[in-house]
Amino acid sequence: MNTEPPEGDELQRMLVSMKRTVLERATPRPRRRRGRSGIVIGVVALLAVGTATGAVALTLSQQDRPVAAPVHTQEPEPAPSATTPSSAPITATPTPTARPWNTVARIPTTCRGLVPASEYGRLFGGVPSKVMDTDPQQEGPAVSCEWRESESTDSVIYVTAATTTAQEVRHLVDTFGDEPQIGNACTERPDGTLCQFRVPLDVGEKGYTLFARGTSYVIIDQIDFPTNGLLDAVVGEIWGD
């Protein structure tokens, strides 16, 4: 703009408003205003790559200390063929096939609707869920959920599913791997694009997964909240795989 930037009280009012919005929006869910991109995602290391398609199960390593995550009854899945750190594998179970994939996602309106009812207990146990903020300007249906035992716990998982535009989905994928140490964190697969990273934190381990197909995507952001086969369950539920 050619005008001078605001100063004094005017600047302060602008900053207060923006700060409130930023803190409200500081969830894994990318949002847009006025139909534009507010897409932001985190990035770091490509961990696993399924060469074919199908099921992808994100598994954060089990921690030594108890976590607010449900007990898993499912056996660990076999390690993927791609290079994967042994401490916390992200396993891909390719299902070689050339079948066409449904690209029309059915985005649920509830957290429970993100996964098959039969899988919910296994994946989330009794951890409370809540729907995060919804954006009326979102170009398509979207749901973003948080599972956290209580506000005092660090263990948390966010799952977002949304339908938007092909451009926005492309932007999500393109910006996933632009940190220098990652390189290309995304893999094009017959059933969609998978981007993943994992990084150790003081409170545990953070895993971030983006899966995109057509004009829809799923983001799973988990901190010290291990799951087994969650992405597979979500993808199967919303795309009907």
Partner 1 sequence: MDATTGDRTDEEIVRAMAAGDKTALAAAFDRYAATLTRYAWALASDRQDVEEIVQDAFLTLWQRAATLQLPADTMLPWLLVVCRNHAFNTGRKQARRRADELPEHLAAPEDHDEARERLRWVRDEIAALPELDRRICELCLLEGHSYAEAAAMLGLSVAAVTQRVSRNRRRLKKAVMHDEH
User: For binding to partner 1 (CB under 8 A), which residues are involved?
Assistant: 1, 3, 5-6, 11, 14-15, 17-19, 21-23, 25-26, 28, 33-34, 36-45, 154, 156, 167, 171, 178-182, 197, 199-203, 206, 208, 223
How far apart CA 214 and CA 45 sit, in angstroms, is 24
Question: 6 vs 78, which CB is nearer to partner 1?
Answer: 6
Tokens read off for 19: 């700060």
Nearer Cβ to partner 1 (54/204): 204
Identify which of 227, 222, 70, 229 has the alpha carbon closest to the alpha carbon of residue 157. Answer: 222
At its nearest, how many Å lie between partner 1 and the CB of residue 78?
27
d(CA 119, CA 101): 22
Minimum distance from residue 30 beta carbon to partner 1 (Å): 8
Q: Which is nearer to partner 1, 131 or 201 (CB)?
A: 201
C-beta of residue 38 within 8 angstroms of C-beta of residue 31:
yes
For partner 1, the closer of residues 124 and 158 by Cβ is: 158
Closest separation in Å from C-beta 33 to partner 1? 6
Least Å distance, CB 196 to partner 1, is 12
Q: Can you list the alpha helix ranges (DSSP code H) found in the chain? A: 8-25, 117-124, 166-174, 230-239
Q: Give the nearest distance from C-beta 24 to partner 1 in angstroms.
A: 10
Partners of 204 in the β-ladder: 201
AA identity, residue 237: E
Closest approach of partner 1 to the CB of residue 121, in Å: 26
Strand runs labelled E in the chain: 54-58, 90-94, 129-131, 142-148, 156-163, 186-189, 192-201, 204-213, 216-223
Contact 113, 145 (CB under 8 A): no
Nearer to partner 1 by C-beta: 25 or 106? 25
Per the listing, tokens 């660990």 go with 76
CB nearer partner 1, residue 32 or residue 72: 32
Give every CB contact of residue 124 below 8 A, 6+ residues apart in sequence: 70, 115, 147
- The minimum distance between CB 173 and partner 1, in angstroms, equals 14
Q: Which CB sits closer to partner 1, 102 or 165?
A: 165
